[in-house]
Amino acid sequence: MTNKPVQINAKFKYQKLVDEIVVAIESGLLTGKLPSVRKASKDRSVSISTISQAYAELERLGWIFSESKRGYFIHQTRNENSKPQYGHDITSISNGRSLAESVQYSLNDPNVFPLSSTAPSSVLDNEKVLNRLSKKTSNNRVFQKNLEEPIAGLPEYRQALSRYWLSQSLLLTQDQIIATHGRNEGLLTALLAMNKSGKAVAVESPTSFYFQAVISQLNFDVIEIPQQHNYQDELMLLELAYSTHKFDCLVVNPSFNDPTGRLLSKGDKLDLLHWASRNQVTIIEYDRSELYFSCDKPSSLVNLAINHSIDNLRLISIGDFFDTLSPTLKLGYMVCLNCFQECLLTRQTTLEPVNLHMQHIITECLESGQYSKLLRNLRHQLRINYIKANTIFSELLELGTYISQPNGGPCLWFQLPKGVSSHGLWEMAINAQLSIAPGTVFSFSNNFEDFFRVTFALPWDDSMESALIKLTKLTKDFVK
């Protein structure tokens, strides 16, 4: 029987119920025993079948467990460990240290299973589709002499992106879009263009290893703002850091943060945008909003800034097709609000033009509707992989281990019991030919030693399942 892709954003009733119950558990409103299926059906005015599906899903995800003739109960460890703390101390770091080279090297070792990787598009093999698009566009004269080099990218490519976003109620012109070789180059361009003074750069913490790799190349000092569960508390820390350090740029990953999986609410995102506008701080967003799989599509910062007409805001939103189509694609884009010329000049003077044939391929992919179809397939498979991985890892909850519950993105974020370091687990995993990402690689100041990150976004086969089962056993043995 073949699995058919489904439209994830058209959420079923039971999925909405699952989300509501998870929020209630996380907030501490639900503890102990859940209402019976019949009582919940009556209280919520939904069918018994809907409640049964929701409870079954929650059990698969590890939030609840059932006991014969007694009913359904919430995992106590899930409730107690549902909100890891990242501290309240703002850290200023003079950059220049080496970053977790061993984690990177492990990704290139064919004998090590790469659970530390984070390429969402790896779950599907789109090679045939991309090869077909490549052949279809190969008659374009990519080597034609062109005295007016399209530094911002091919007009057709930028127009295709504009039309794609217009279908999602985001009005952008091609004069706000710059083609890049991918997210790394996008961030590099943004930082060079917006931080000419060489001031420190602020980042949320934990922060993406990709952010660290790029910022370290520039040798900028860094201000780490620890993530808070109440985003108003985080904004207060941001204000405190700004009053002390007066940074020009803030780099954020507000939708499915790497590594925590955090998704900021629309209200929190708007508060952040207004704060940046008031303080004239440029926001650089790594936009992963396309990677949702069990919620409605979240708004990107650029979407909110335009649709809410936030004035005096300089904002750069970075995206690429490495995340959504194939890890082999070196093509992305920058959306530049109120800073297009600065970014374009920086790109022109410091970086090479983007491959024209690659732009033709993605233009055809966007215009033909193929991209939307491939995204639906991607979200469907990410959700399947997430559920399977979560089921395997649920055994760790009994040990007091926290496991994130993201609604999108490619990875899970773990916190080991107090006093247990992920460095030792990393050594055990490498000896067993598995690679994980220890928590300290997500901090410039080596914080989060008791955390680690694992991907579920790899092709699901026997080797993937075996690797997750092996890691679960290693973690249990290590914690005990």
Q: Is 334 helix (H, G, I), strand (E, B) or coil?
A: strand
**Is 7 a member of any domain?**
no
Strand order in the sheet with 249-252: 91-93, 222-226, 201-205, 249-252, 282-286, 315-320, 332-337, 177-180
The pLDDT, as a whole number, for residue 346 is 93
**Do the domain assignments include residue 394?**
yes
Q: Quote the CA–CA distance of 88 and 91 in Å, as a whole number.
A: 9
Instruction: Pick the last residue of a domain from 46, 80, 114.
Output: 80
Residue bearing the bigger pLDDT, 305 or 216:
305
Exposure string of 387-405, with b = 16+ CB inside 10 Å and e = fewer, is ebbbebbbebbebbbbbbb
454, β-bridge pairs = 412
Whether 28 and 146 share a structural domain: no
Residues 137 and 236 in one domain: yes
CATH number of the domain bearing residue 203: 3.40.640.10
Between 11 and 441, the higher pLDDT residue: 441
Residue 263 shares a structural domain with residue 396: no
Is the pLDDT reported for residue 15 higher than 90? Answer: no
Q: What is the DSSP letter of 253?
A: -
Placement of tokens 């530094």 in the chain: 151
* 118 in the same domain as 131: no
Question: Are the C-beta atoms of 57 and 199 separated by less than 8 Å?
Answer: no
Asked if 415 and 450 count as a contact pair (C-beta separation under 8 A), the reply is yes
Give the chain's count of helices (H) and strands (E).
17, 14
Out of 77-86, 311-320, 378-387, 468-477, least confident range: 77-86
Taking CA atoms, 112 is separated from 5, 305, 327, in Å, by 31, 43, 18
pLDDT over threshold 90, residue 309? yes
| 101 and 177 co-located in one domain | no
In a domain, residue 342? The reply is yes
Residues 151 and 238 in one domain: yes
Taking only the tens place, the pLDDT of each residue in 311-353 is: 889 999 999 999 999 999 999 999 999 999 999 999 999 888 8
- What average pLDDT does this structure show over 456-477? 96
- For the chain, the domain total comes to 3
Range of the domain at 44: 13-80
Mark whether 354 and 432 lie in a shared domain: no
User: Each residue of 89-139: pLDDT tens digit?
Assistant: 665 554 444 435 667 667 677 889 999 988 899 999 999 999 999 998 877
Please indicate whether residue 145 or residue 476 has the higher confidence score (pLDDT): 476
Provide the token pair at 267.
């209200």
The structure's pTM equals 0.80
DSSP secondary structure code for residue 285 in this structure: E
- pLDDT above 60 (res 25): yes
User: Tokens for 187?
Assistant: 């961030």
**Banded model confidence at residue 82, pLDDT cuts 50, 70, 90:** low
Calculated CA dihedral for residues 383, 384, 388, 391, nearest 10 degrees: 50
CB-based contacts of 105, cutoff 8 Å, min separation 6: none
Give the number of C-alpha atoms closer than 13 A to the C-alpha of residue 444, restricted to the C-beta side. 29
CATH at 63: 1.10.10.10
pLDDT above 90 (res 371): yes
Please state, in angstroms and rounded to a whole number, the distance separating the CA atoms of residues 333 and 153: 9
- Read off the tokens for 138: 């190969």
- Specify the CATH number for the domain of residue 447: 3.90.1150.10
Residues 265 and 330 in one domain: yes
299 lies in a domain? Answer: yes
- Residue 142 tokens read as 């990519």
Predicted confidence (pLDDT) at residue 182 exceeds the cutoff of 60 = yes
Note whether residue 220 is domain-resident.
yes
Give me the pLDDT at residue 99, please: 38
* Domain C-terminal end among 24, 51, 80: 80
| Boundary (domain end) residue, out of 313, 342, 372 | 372
Give the pLDDT score at 353: 86
Q: Which of 1-10, 73-82, 206-215, 448-457 has the weakest average pLDDT? A: 1-10
| Residue 354 token pair | 């983007």
Residue type, 397: L
Distance CA(4)–CA(134), nearest Å, equals 26
Q: Provide, for the chain, the percentages of residues in helix, strand and coil under a 3-state DSSP scheme, each rounded to the nearest 5.
A: 45, 15, 40
The mean-pLDDT minimum among 217-221, 245-249, 262-266, 456-460 falls in: 217-221
Task: For residues 212 and 304, state if they share a domain.
Answer: yes
Same-domain check for residues 415 and 458: yes
> Which amino acid is present at 62?
G
Render pLDDT for 240-277 as a digit per residue (tens, 0 to 9). Answer: 999 988 899 999 999 999 999 999 999 999 999 999 99
Give the mean pLDDT of the chain: 87
Residues 116 and 131 in one domain: no
Q: Which are the contacts of 133, defined by CB distance < 8 A and separation ≥ 6? A: 361, 364, 365, 370
For residue 31, pLDDT beyond 90: no
Task: Give pLDDT, residue 303.
Answer: 95
- Structural domain contains residue 312: yes
- For residues 259 and 312, membership in a common domain is answered with yes
Question: Is position 385 within any domain?
Answer: yes
Q: Is residue 86 part of a domain?
A: no
Please say whether the beta carbons of 313 and 273 come within 8 A.
yes
Phi-psi region of 406 (alpha: psi -120 to 50; beta: other; left: phi over 0): beta
Question: Considering Cα of 289, then 290, then 296, then 299, what sign does the dihedral take?
Answer: positive
Which tokens belong to 117? 């990787």
Strand, helix or coil for residue 392:
helix
